Amino acid sequence: MTHPLIGLTTSHTTSQSGLSQISVTEAYVRALLRAGAAPLLIPIGLSESALQDILHRLDGILFTGGGDVNPERYASQMHPLVDDVDPERDSTEIQLIRYAMQEQIPFLGICRGLQVINVAMGGTLYEDILDQRPNSIRHQYSPGWPRSYLAHDVKLVDRSRLVEILDDDTVSVNSFHHQGIRELGKRLQATAFAPDGVIEAIELPGHPFAIAVQWHPEWLVEDPAMQRLFGEFVRSAELTHIPQITR
């Protein structure tokens, strides 16, 4: 049995002993393993040719959560609450997004993943929702809250790919973000909304699998709906994997 190879985007971190690391939260890996994938971490800072060598072997890409996208990427000023900006990560991920669009490679975005996909497609972000949308509900429940804490409901758009996968028009989700989509990127469709109107999911119509969500389904994998989200992503990657076996 072969498993579709799913690349995961990574973050720059620092160990307790002060060593620089490139890492990813284990929950993403476990969610993909549970769905039948073979996860592969994509380092930050690869040359374009090295990145291309990896990309040609991938069956899907998971854009993980993390720090804020550099506001310069969407022609905005640096807000004082923007945090943990990593221009090198932005550059790597935007290359990955463009490749996935061009080559019709399935991809799933989570939290920051949704935001960087939107920026790569020409969209913009609220740099801090509470400051720039003061009547919004609370979206940031970190730190201090369990990762599986269900913060609010989201309403899904009829006839979207996401509503078909989750099999419900309303789902309860966790919430660990202070930024969100302001202007939607080109060709993207908003397919889920928080009670205050903040976009909670996007899709690219016509793509084999191009979905991104603002919540963190990797911490909710005991929920059958979230299991199906990862399952459908991996199944789409399996279809991509088949013609690559002979490469």
Active-site entry in 178, 218, 232, 241: 218
Active-site entry in 139, 152, 177, 216: 216
Active-site entry in 111, 139, 152, 178: 111
Cα distances from 53 to residues 42, 96, 99, 208, 230, in angstroms, run: 11, 12, 12, 22, 25
As a whole number of angstroms, the longest Cα–Cα distance in the chain is: 55
Among 81, 180, 74, smallest CA distance to 124 is for 74
Catalytic (active site) residue 218? yes
Please name the helix (run of DSSP H) or strand (run of DSSP E) that holds residue 166, with its range, or none. helix 161-166
∠ Cα 229 232 235 (to 5°) = 150
Distance CA 45, CA 30 (A): 25
Catalytic (active site) residue 200? no
Catalytic (active site) residue 93? no
Q: Is 187 exposed, middle or buried (0-12, 13-18, 19+ CB in 10 A)?
A: middle
The catalytic residues are 111, 216, 218
